Amino acid sequence: MSLIAVYLIAVVLFILILISLGFQPKFIARSSGALLFITGVLGTLFYGYGYHTLYESVSQAAMRTLFSVFCMFLGRNEISAIASTPLLQAPAMQILLYFTHLLALYCTASAVVQTIGTRLIRTLHLLLVRRGRLHVIYGANEDSVSFAEKLLRQKAGTVILIDDGGGSGLDGRILRMGSLLLADEDAKSGGSALLRRLGMKPGNRKLTLYCLSRDPEKNLRFARALQTTLLEGGIHPAQTALTALLSQASQSPALQAQEGRYGFGSVNAIEPADLVGRLTVKALPPYRTMTFDEAGRAKTDFDALVVGFGRTGQAVLRQLILNGQFAGSRFHATVVARDPWQQAGSFFARSPGLQDAYDIEFLDADARSIDLYRRLMERGDSLKYAVLCTGSDKENEEIARALTDLFQQRGLQPALLQCTAEGVRKAQDAFGPAAFMSLYAPEILCSDQLDAMAKILNHQYHLLDGHTPEEDWKACDYFSRMSCRAAADYVPALLAAAGVSEADAREKGLSLTEIQARTLGEAEHLRWCAFHYVSGYRPMPEEVWRERAARYRAEAAQGGKGTLRIGKDTLQRLHACLIPWEELDELSAREAAVTGKPVDYRQMDLDNVAMIPAMLRAIEKGA
């Protein structure tokens, strides 16, 4: 029985060791340092005692002790040298010494698993992922790894992460979820060696790059480096797409492929603050706070409250303007902040037309002040949407509790959202349960579905060219792509106004009455105007329009054909169509009289509405 017990104990201990070695590198990295220290101390105590007993020379005993302790970690056994000492005559001490040697071997095995084993796993993983769609995420942090997990759950393809210096300690989590973290200099540089490791060759697969480092400048540098590498590798732009967090959206056009310039086939650039703004209206779209009549007109105005007017507050307000436009409704927003006009300079410099086009009221006060509460008591019944973006989670929460109490006392049910460093939190309200949407949401960062819809919309403007939607999209400049994406993003709001489900619109069409069609066309025009105002456009003055019309006539008289866009000046950011829906017919007639070409700006809005079923079918086709 004693022999069987020996076998059983040995087998159990061996299995336990294998199980512990099977833990991911993150666990090993945390535990190996402590085990190494404990093992070294125990070995020094045992061998120091033994050699001090055997040798008269202190220096000789110390050097022999050091040698034996090192031998423990190399698998060499020096136990016999001190076995005759009195302490080791006790069986318990012998067991403890053997256990110390076992710990030393365990530390060595852990190091092997952490280095050689991890490298082997990475090599095998790279060999197995050379087919299918590839998602490369530059910047390893908690948010980007969570985003990678969501991509893998959606079975979007292979996901590889590249460390930007912030991925320490994430290796184990990344390996567990079935992905891989590349942290070597070849990967970080975005050079040709990275393409070879990923198996990227001309025409063989599609690569989507997500630059999600917390440092936007690193994102820009890596995107540019990989752009150059892709060009040198002969990778066609149609094989590539880029989503990047950049410090300025103006940096993005140079990254997109255009005629005569190499770049990524599709570019979706987002400023970090704008990411929060987009996430806010995605967590709860403004149209869900509205009610509509049978014609599709809003029954009430859209009234919003924005607390805080730093970069995030400004981005939230822009998104509310973009998504809060409805036929029959007037947009109003109250911005509450300390010295808001001192913070609004860049906001109105970037979008100078907003100040005159929309009713934006600034209140120089704390969100807990009596001034705000008086204002809410006066017109709180009209409030639809409140967003807190003070920059402090604690302050957001305090204000949210106070506002919730006020709303409940008065029987009000506006939407209430908090912008945090991790994402957007929605309170329990009439629009559903409390919910949290993490910052790096696939709904924002993955633009495939939105682009599929935008391509169909863009194509309708070029039907006479005889090109395919893909060819038209390839020739489309960055601003026009963003305009088409904004229109596609607003489709759910138009469907809600019409009372038509997405499934019915896709399968049966819209089946709108003439009044509904006109109402949705008007709403689409309001959205179009909001996009251009937010993008920095202003209405074109009458004298400027007449001057450009004269230039068109002179150009046509000289060359037989005029090419100037009379109603759009991209350099000065002026557009003649930034007028009420009712005035578009008159503008169309004036322009047609100058050019001799038929133009119907109202019909363009109506055509955008009519394209909704085709856009929805484009998503289904690409799924």
Cα–Cα nearest to 263, from 239, 287, 288: 239
pLDDT digits (tens, 9 = 90+) for 325-358: 999 999 999 999 999 888 889 899 999 999 999 9
User: Given a cut of 50, is residue 179 above it in pLDDT?
Assistant: yes
Residues in contact with 197: Cβ distance below 8 Å, sequence separation at least 6, in sequence order = 126, 182, 186, 187
User: Given a cut of 60, is residue 623 above it in pLDDT?
Assistant: no
In angstroms, the CA 138 to CA 209 distance is: 7
Q: Mean pLDDT, to the nearest integer, of 513-538? A: 96
Specify the CATH number of the domain 276-430: 3.40.50
Which pair of structure tokens corresponds to residue 582? 């009712």
| Kind plus residue range of the DSSP H or E element containing 267 | strand 267-270
Q: What is the pLDDT of residue 63?
A: 84
Q: What is the pLDDT of residue 443?
A: 83
In angstroms, the CA 43 to CA 100 distance is: 7
User: Given a cut of 50, is residue 133 above it in pLDDT?
Assistant: yes
**Percent of the chain surpassing pLDDT 90:** 50
Cα–Cα nearest to 318, from 286, 288, 296: 286
Confidence of residue 23 (pLDDT cuts 50, 70, 90): very low
User: Given a cut of 70, is residue 8 above it in pLDDT?
Assistant: no
Q: Mean pLDDT, to the nearest integer, of 106-116? A: 62
Would you state the torsion angle of the CA atoms of residues 520, 585, 488, 298, taken in this order, to the nearest 10 degrees? -30
In angstroms, the CA 255 to CA 251 distance is: 8
Residues in contact with 33: Cβ distance below 8 Å, sequence separation at least 6, in sequence order = none
Q: Mean pLDDT, to the nearest integer, of 192-203? A: 86
Q: What is the pLDDT of residue 475?
A: 85
pLDDT digits (tens, 9 = 90+) for 388-410: 999 999 999 999 999 999 998 88
- The CATH number of 129-270, from 3.40.50.720, 3.50.50.60, 3.40.640.10, 3.90.76.10, is 3.40.50.720
Classify residue 200 by its DSSP letter: -
- Written as one string, the DSSP assignment of 224-262 is HHHHHHHHHTT--GGGEEEEEE-S-GGGSGGGB-BTTB-
Q: What is the pLDDT of residue 127?
A: 52
Residues in contact with 84: Cβ distance below 8 Å, sequence separation at least 6, in sequence order = none
Residues paired with 245 in a beta bridge: 270
**Mean of all residue pLDDT scores within the chain:** 86
| Kind plus residue range of the DSSP H or E element containing 388 | strand 383-388
Classify residue 623 by its DSSP letter: -
Which pair of structure tokens corresponds to residue 510? 């819209």
User: Given a cut of 80, is residue 359 above it in pLDDT?
Assistant: yes
Gyration radius of the chain over CA positions: 33
Classify residue 484 by its DSSP letter: H
Residues in contact with 478: Cβ distance below 8 Å, sequence separation at least 6, in sequence order = 252, 253, 256, 267
Residues in contact with 248: Cβ distance below 8 Å, sequence separation at least 6, in sequence order = 271
**Percent of the chain surpassing pLDDT 70:** 89
Which pair of structure tokens corresponds to residue 171? 């290796």
Which pair of structure tokens corresponds to residue 114? 């952490």
Higher pLDDT: 106 or 417? It is: 417
User: Given a cut of 80, is residue 516 above it in pLDDT?
Assistant: yes
Q: What is the pLDDT of residue 114?
A: 55
- Choice among 101-110, 124-133, 454-463 with the minimum mean pLDDT: 124-133
> For helices 2-21 and 91-112, what crossing angle results, to 10°?
30
Q: What is the pLDDT of residue 36?
A: 76
In angstroms, the CA 242 to CA 266 distance is: 6
In angstroms, the CA 349 to CA 203 distance is: 44
Residues in contact with 171: Cβ distance below 8 Å, sequence separation at least 6, in sequence order = 24, 25, 26, 118, 181
pLDDT digits (tens, 9 = 90+) for 231-254: 999 999 999 999 999 988 778 888
User: Given a cut of 90, is residue 18 above it in pLDDT?
Assistant: no
Q: Mean pLDDT, to the nearest integer, of 405-418? A: 90
Q: Mean pLDDT, to the nearest integer, of 139-151? A: 89
Confidence of residue 24 (pLDDT cuts 50, 70, 90): very low
pLDDT digits (tens, 9 = 90+) for 547-596: 999 999 999 988 778 889 999 999 999 999 999 999 999 999 999 999 99
Confidence of residue 13 (pLDDT cuts 50, 70, 90): low
* Cβ atoms < 10 Å from Cβ of 20: 14
Q: Mean pLDDT, to the nearest integer, of 81-92? A: 82
3-state secondary structure string across 112-165: HHHHHHHHHHHHHHHHHCCCCCEEEEECCCHHHHHHHHHHHHCCCCEEEEECCC
Q: What is the pLDDT of residue 15?
A: 52
In angstroms, the CA 529 to CA 518 distance is: 16
Q: What is the pLDDT of residue 113?
A: 55
**SS3 label, residue 212:** coil
Q: Mean pLDDT, to the nearest integer, of 477-497? A: 93
In angstroms, the CA 400 to CA 394 distance is: 10
Classify residue 423 by its DSSP letter: E
Confidence of residue 14 (pLDDT cuts 50, 70, 90): low
Q: What is the pLDDT of residue 168?
A: 62
Residues in the chain: 623
pLDDT digits (tens, 9 = 90+) for 263-319: 999 898 899 899 999 999 999 999 999 999 999 999 999 999 999 999 999 999 999
Classify residue 108 by its DSSP letter: H
Residue range(s) of every CATH 3.40.50.720 domain in the chain: 129-270
Query: What are the distances in angstroms from CA 202 to CA 135, 138, 234, 238?
Result: 17, 22, 6, 10
